[in-house]
Amino acid sequence: MYNTYKFKATQLQNITELTVTLKNNNMTNSKNIVALASESAKTLAAAVTAADLITTLEGTGPFTVFAPTDAAFAAIQTDVDSLLKPENKAKLANILTYHVVSGKHMAAELEDGTELTTVQGEKLKVSVNGDKVMIGGANVTTADVDASNGVVHLIDKVLMPKM
C-alpha cells in the first residue's frame, strides 16, 4: 500500500510541486477484504452480497482474493446480470470462491508455474514473466492491496471454474 503526500516547494527554484511516495511495509490496512471491494470493485462487492459470502470474506482469514475489476465484470455484463439473480446464487458463489485462496500470497512470493488451490476447490495456475503476473490467464493489474484479513490483487478478467 502506498500513501502519496504532496508538498509545496516554495523556496526551490523551478519547482512548483513535489510528490513523494512512501511505502508502508509494516502497516496493515484496517479495512477487510469486503470493505476494500466496496470501495474499488463495486461489482464484486454486489456479487459477494448476492452470493451471501460477506460473512466468510469478513472472517479472520487470511485470504488472497484475485478480484476482477468493474471493467472485467462489464465485459461479461449479460452473464453478470443473470448470475446476480437469486436462482443463480449457488453458481455465483462457485465462481466467486474460485477467486479466493486461503492464506496471504503477496505478488513477489508467487512463482511461475505454481498452482494455488482455491476455496472453491479447483486450482489456479500462476504465470510470471519478468514483472508481469498472471493468474488463471488474467493479468494482475494492481497487486498487494493489503487488507486486515488478507490481500487483494485486482485482475482484468473474471475467472470461470469448470462447471
Confidence grade of residue 30 (pLDDT, cut at 50, 70, 90): confident
Q: Is 72 domain-assigned?
A: yes
Mean pLDDT, residues 80-98: 94
Q: What is the pTM of this model?
A: 0.79
Measured CA to CA, the distance from residue 88 to residue 91 in angstroms comes to: 5
Confidence grade of residue 45 (pLDDT, cut at 50, 70, 90): confident
CATH number at residue 48: 2.30.180.10
Domain enclosing residue 135, as ranges: 30-155
Q: Is 129 domain-assigned?
A: yes
Q: Is 9 domain-assigned?
A: no
28 vs 122, more confident: 122
Q: Is 163 domain-assigned?
A: no
Q: Is 20 domain-assigned?
A: no
> How much of the chain exceeds pLDDT 90, in percent?
59
Q: Is 111 domain-assigned?
A: yes
- Domains in the chain: how many in total? 1
Q: Is 7 domain-assigned?
A: no
Confidence grade of residue 16 (pLDDT, cut at 50, 70, 90): very low
